[in-house]
Amino acid sequence: MSERVDPFAMLKDVPVFGLKPKADKPVSKDVIDQIADENRFHSRQARKEPATPRRKPRVYRTGRSLNFSLKATVETRDRFHKAADARGVTLARLLELALEALEKQGPSGNS
């Protein structure tokens, strides 16, 4: 039992261990971008911020619980928001003020 066990005793040929082959050099980013452009691959980069800045969200606790949704042009919406900001009121309060002003004016056939 003083002899060491030969792990290669059962093998016919002794294995030859060589050096690992050199790893390929990584492809440059420019080459990857060129290949992607040629094959019309889209970028996964995040999209740029929109050109128009986002409005500050209007969150108020006023007790109003019904949703009143309507379609309007961008210009009309912006005018409405600008009028509310100028008066320092919520959008719902501005609508109430506008309706009160219309009711004071009386019925009109101008449509």
Locate tokens 């961008």: which residue?
74
Q: The whole model's pTM is what?
A: 0.43
**How far from chain centre, in Å, is Cα 20?**
45
Distance CA 42, CA 94 (A): 45
Query: Which alpha helices (H) appear in 1-111, and where do they start and end?
Result: 29-38, 74-87, 91-105
pLDDT tens for the chain, 111 residues long, are 678 888 777 887 767 788 888 888 888 889 988 888 889 887 777 777 777 777 777 776 777 778 888 999 999 999 999 999 999 998 989 999 999 999 999 887 565
